[in-house]
Chains A and B, each alone.
Chain A
Amino acid sequence: MKILVVDDESIVLESCRRVLEDRFEVIGAGSAEAALEALRRETIGMILLDIKMPGKDGMSLLKEVKEKWPNIPVIVMSGYATTETVEQVSRTEAATFIAKPFTPDELVEVVAKVINKEGKP
């Protein structure tokens, strides 16, 4: 399964890749545009999406992704994990939310939960 990680911070992209590459094929995208291009090019099984990015931000991208690829589960990430942010995300079609920073175990756990919920291998 291919997991698309969208974040303008390369360290976050790299961290996710390092944590998940054992079990998944990880594709990194540094912007919303790059993410859309990857989505069109590849068959993506799951998206890890940062909310706050320069240019088109995560929430707009989430909306567009859900319109075009409604079956792809999206996990929203944010370094601004306030109650309000969590509420805001819960009102979208995102599968779940993970606050940055996270440990490898926490990330793996969240991804596993989403996969189980979606009923995919």
Chain B
Amino acid sequence: MFYSFRSKIIASFLGVTFLVGIVSLLVGGHLLTRSVLGEARNRVAQDLHAAREMYDNRVRMIEVALNITTLGYGFIAALKDRNTSDLVFRMGRMAQHSGLDFAGITDEKGQSICRIGTHSIPGKKAQPPNPIVTQALEKKTLATGTVVLSEEFLKFESPQLAERARVDIIPRPGETPSAEKAVTSGLVLSAGVPILHEGQILGVLYGGILLNRDERIVDTVRGTVFRNEEYKGRSIGRATIFLKDVRVATNVPAQDGGRAIGTKVSQEVRERVFEKSERWTKRALVLTDWYIMAYEPIQDIFNKTVGILGMGVLEEKYVDLRWRTLSIFVLITLAGMALATALGCFMAGKIIDPVNRLIRASQQVTVGSLTPDIGPVSTGEMVVLQKTFKEMVAAMGRRRAESQDRLLLSERQASVGRLAAGVAHEINNPLTGVLTYTHMLLRKKDLNEEVRADLQTIAEATERVRKIVKGLLDFSTQTKLDRELVDVNRLITDTMALMENQALVNGISMAFKPADDLRTVNMDRNQFQNVLLNILINAMDATKPGDNITFSTLNSPVVNEAGQQGIEISIADTGCGIPPEHLNKLFDPFFTTKQVGHGTGLGLSVTLGIVQRHGGTIRVNSEVGNGSTFTIWVPLEGRAR
């Protein structure tokens, strides 16, 4: 039982800690996931934006390079003169400085004049249409942006270019290979500048960068945006350029250690970004690792979506961060639970140890000890419990002593009663003879005085015996109470009236201080009057002329064990008082301090018997030389004890 109490306390502590821990884990975990992964998504979105900027910068760089070249000294003249070697030289320098993969000049009709590369001077073969040049000629202004150039065009520019552009498509695991086995066209950043001279278009200077298998943009993005940050040996950031849905430039590594060129984007991304031209962020499995990916469409100069720019951040870093934080949460919770267990044990010990000691003390009391060991004094409520327990044991001790006394007294009274009844009957018969014969003899006229005096003594002695036997009988008989509602104030007045003459003779003044609102008591009027008379007679005997006897009554604030209310009657005298050694014998049968022949020693014993049968008590306070006070407490609705 004690262990279960201890376990309950510990379990409660644990329960609370566990609950708080779990709730904070759930809430904290949720918030953490949201904020950490949200942060990661934000970062990816920002990184994508930065990547886009870099992509666009690249285009502007081409523009600038082309413009500077057209403005170069002697460029127009060289063009007019069709000095192709000079033009190729100029374009070669430009391409070298700007990292262009191809560059060339067309005439005002779009026909190639010259270009860099292996076949700088075109042959007779007609040049395939170049959308940038076409747009620059049509709009007579700078044309710039992304274009998709056919394999034919690329071959025309340079066979190596077409070779580089070719990307074999690697089907996704579990996906049926599409009919298209390879990408042959090129995703190109390109610009075309119309060459104007005196309001006439002389031709178009064009140039561009083939993005297929180009590592510069994606690696620059990784280097600039992610600063080549690595996590567990893997690059944290990924940048990819898709032509349609095929990776043509990326730094996502392939399983063979190279770059994952030729792999396709998921169907979902293809639909959302490529087909619907939306920006999109999602968690995606890139080969073996989960990334938080952001995609946006790449549009060509005709505003047609031709590819996708994708950025990814390794999710693991954020997931690990989340797990690390959650682990700390869990550790704190576990530590809290351990602390709660320890605290629970400690608290349970604090509570249970005194309780156990009290239980042992109770067991000691059960087997009769009234001085049980309850151990050291505790704190808090336990002190109250210990104090109450001590008081209870002390009260039990007092009660036991009292009940033993009472038992002894009632046993003594019972045996005295039985004896008295027997003795009374046996003595009264011969006593009748003694009384009769003595009185008969006393009636004789011829007695000498000495004999008469002797007979008189016999008669008086016999009267005494008669009184003693009467007292014995009164004491021994437990007569039933004839109860009625009694006005005790009135009863006291009546009783005092009976003794008024005696008081006058003795020179004692009697007074009464009644309570005005004294409640009536259900009692045996006659027997209770005997009680008052007995105490009053005792008071008279204890006083001398000039002393006072004062009666008083009040509605008692005291209730008895049964919770009954009662009244108090005090009879105080200013007489000689009772020596302390006599106080506890006062109510014993046959105890008397009066001269022989002046009392039977049964008066107060009978008095106490009557009060007790009414359910009341008598208390005596006395001081030798200053008088005594008898206080009777009697319940309103007395019940025999």
Question: Which residues of A pack against B, CB within 8 Å?
Answer: 7, 9, 11-12, 14-16, 18-19, 52, 79-84, 99-105, 107
| Chain B contacts to A: CB under 8 angstroms | 421, 424-437, 439-440, 443, 462, 466, 470, 473-474, 477, 479-480
Residue pairs across A and B with Cβ atoms less than 8 A apart, 22 shown, are A7-B429, A9-B432, A11-B432, A11-B433, A12-B429, A15-B432, A16-B436, A18-B436, A18-B440, A19-B436, A79-B424, A79-B429, A81-B473, A82-B474, A82-B479, A83-B477, A84-B479, A99-B428, A100-B428, A101-B428, A101-B434, A104-B436
Point out which of A9, A52, A105 has the most chain B C-beta atoms below 10 A from its C-beta. A9
Q: Once bound together, how far apart are the Cα atoms of A84 and B436, in whole Å?
A: 26
> In the docked arrangement, what's the CA distance between A107 and B425, Å?
18
Which of chain A's residues have a CB closer than 8 A to the CB of B424?
Answer: 79-80
Contacts of A100 in B (CB 8 A): 428-429, 431-432
A79 surroundings in chain B (CB, below 8 A): 424-429, 432
A67 to B428 CA separation, bound complex (whole angstroms): 30
User: How far does the Cβ of A61 sit from chain B's closest Cβ, in whole Å?
Assistant: 18
Tell me the bound Cα distance from A104 to B462 in angstroms: 14
Closest-CB distance, A77 to chain B (whole angstroms): 8
Number of cross-chain contacts by CB at 8 Å: 74
Taken together as a complex, chains A and B put the C-alpha atoms of A107 and B435 apart, in Å, by: 11
Which residue of the partner chain, among A9, A83, A104, A105, contacts B429 with CB atoms under 8 Å? A9
Tell me the nearest residue of chain A to B463, going by C-beta.
A103
Instruction: From known contacts A79-B424, A80-B424, infer whether A105 and B473 are also in contact, taking CB-CB under 8 Å.
Output: no
Residue of A with least CB distance to B431: A101
With CB as the reference atom, state the residue of chain B lying closest to A77: B432
**List of A residues within 8 angstroms of B473 by Cβ:** 80-82
CB distance B477 to A84 under 8 Å? yes
CA distance A18 to B441 in the complex (A): 11
The 4 closest A-B pairs by CB, nearest first: A79-B428, A15-B436, A11-B433, A101-B431
CB distance from B60 to the nearest CB of A (A): 135
Residues of A within 8 A of B428 (CB): 79-81, 99-101
Given A80-B425, A82-B473, A82-B477: A101 and B432 within 8 A (CB)? yes
The answer to whether B429 touches A80 (Cβ under 8 A) is no
Minimum CB–CB distance from B40 to chain A (whole Å) comes to: 107
Contacts of A18 in B (CB 8 A): 436-437, 440
CA distance A52 to B421 in the complex (A): 13
Task: Determine how close the nearest CB of chain B comes to the CB of A108; give it in whole angstroms.
Answer: 10
CB-based nearest A residue for B422? A80
B462's closest neighbor in chain A, by CB? A101
Complex contacts, B480 vs chain A, CB 8 Å: 84
**Does A80 contact B421, Cβ atoms closer than 8 Å?**
yes
CB-based contact A103/B429 at 8 Å:
no
Known: A7-B429, A101-B466. 18 other contacts (CB 8 A): A9-B430, A15-B435, A16-B436, A18-B436, A19-B436, A79-B432, A80-B421, A80-B424, A80-B473, A81-B428, A82-B473, A82-B474, A83-B479, A84-B480, A102-B432, A102-B435, A103-B435, A104-B443
Measured CB to CB, the nearest residue on chain B to A51 is: B425
**A104-B425 Cα distance, complex, nearest whole Å:** 19
